[in-house]
Amino acid sequence: MTDKKLKFLVAVGFSERPEDVLDKAIEVAAKYKAYVYVLHVITEMPKLTFYYDAYRLWENFRDSAVVEAMELLKKHIAKMKEQYNDIEPVVEVGDPGTTIIEKAEEFNADLIIMGHHVRKGLNHVMHQNSCERVVRYSKRPVLTFYIDEDEE
């Protein structure tokens, strides 16, 4: 048997409480002494030719959002560094479900860890559920944690 270090990809969104997912992910990673990539994906705006001016504005906003997201991710990770040191922040732009799967392949992740919201009714229809997409289409194992949006 080889002493290959395991790699986990932890996907976090800032609409939920990332520290909830990170706490649980670090607990799992510590048991396996895994290297952890913490990924946040900023949803890309579709490029439509008749929205050229709006897309140019979006590009400027997106570039600053990537920098701000990385700073925020580093702050969350800094709190975790006392407990666990093998963590790397990653910020990408794209479709969240697809990007998570692609990054897991790129990093050769042994496990994807995500928080999962349970939305009902019209809220479920209106919001794309990245976790469901990753669970359905990923060729890698996925561990999900329930995120209770009502809990504070």
Residue range 88-112: average pLDDT? 96
Please, what's the b/e burial string for 97-116 (b: 16 or more CB within 10 A of its CB; e: otherwise)?
bebbbebbeebebbbbbbbb
**CB 32 within 8 Å of CB 58:** no
Residue range 66-73: average pLDDT? 95
Q: What is the pLDDT of residues 118-144, one digit of tens each?
A: 655 555 444 567 888 899 999 999 999
How far apart CA 88 and CA 81 sit, in angstroms, is: 10
Residue range 83-102: average pLDDT? 94
Q: Which amino acid is at 151?
A: E
Q: What is the pLDDT of residues 9-62, one digit of tens each?
A: 999 988 777 888 899 999 999 999 999 999 999 988 776 666 667 777 778 888
Instruction: Tell me the pLDDT band of 79, cut-offs 50, 70 and 90.
Output: confident
pLDDT of residue 124: 47
- Tell me the two tokens of residue 123: 């809220």
pLDDT of residue 102: 97
Report CA-CA distances (Å) from 27 to 24, 113, 139, 152. 5, 11, 23, 21
Torsion of CA 86, 116, 90, 75, to 10 degrees: -70
Which candidate, 5, 4, 26, 8, places its Cα nearest to that of 112? 8
pLDDT of residue 132: 85
Q: Domains in the chain, ordered, with CATH?
A: 7-147 (3.40.50.620)
Mean pLDDT score of the chain: 85
Q: What is the pLDDT of residues 42-51, one digit of tens each?
A: 988 776 666 6
pLDDT of residue 1: 45
- Tell me the two tokens of residue 130: 């990245």
Q: How many CB atoms lie within 10 A of CB 42?
A: 19
Report whether pLDDT(73) > 90. Answer: yes
Please, what's the b/e burial string for 119-148 (b: 16 or more CB within 10 A of its CB; e: otherwise)?
eeeeeeeeeebbbebbbeebebebebeebe
